[in-house]
Amino acid sequence: MTFFSFPNPVNETAVRVTATGVAVMVAAALAFQRPEILVIVAYGFLARVVAGPRISPLALLSTRVITPRIPGHHRLVPGAPKRFAQGLGAVASGGAVAAYYALGWHVVAWSLAALILLLATLEATLRICVGCIIHAQLAKRGVLATPVCEECADVRLVRVRQGASA
């Protein structure tokens, strides 16, 4: 595996732990009106897109410290949809930082932060990865040259999977 690669498959538990960290950081940024936290979030997303967990402190904490201590079965899921989702997070968080600092559009920045909080919370709590769903739809239409992950494309399968593992 090269430095500039993304793992495939990825541990879904680690993904959900990372999403929890993102949600906590963005919630803190919103609650305390601290835009500098969004800079940290944006760096994390960009780092994960570029090199997987290798240079993202949050992903390193998730993959090397927290996830190994969580008992139970750790499911592996396709990496490409998760990398795509990280890319969307990088665009949204980078957009929030640019809106706040470069353009002075504070309402836009906080709105993007709220969207990131919502999407990270869906991943962390319900295993719903909106970026993965978008990735699957784009792959199905031939826009992306990656295999279609039916599970990623169909939120109903998440419910079936949760019912089977509960």
Task: Find residue 10's DSSP bridge partners.
Answer: 77
Whole-prediction pTM: 0.90
Q: What are phi and psi of 11, to 5 degrees?
A: -80, 120
What is the pLDDT, as a whole number, of residue 164? 47
pLDDT tens, per residue, the chain with 166 residues: 688 899 999 999 999 999 999 999 999 999 999 999 999 999 999 999 999 999 999 999 999 999 999 999 999 999 999 999 999 999 999 999 999 999 999 999 999 999 999 999 999 999 999 999 999 999 889 898 876 666 666 655 554 455 544 3
What is the pLDDT, as a whole number, of residue 159? 47
Query: 3-state DSSP call for residue 110?
Result: helix
Q: Please give the biggest Cα pair distance in the chain.
A: 48
Neighbouring residues of 92: CB distance < 8 A, sequence distance ≥ 6: 112, 115, 116
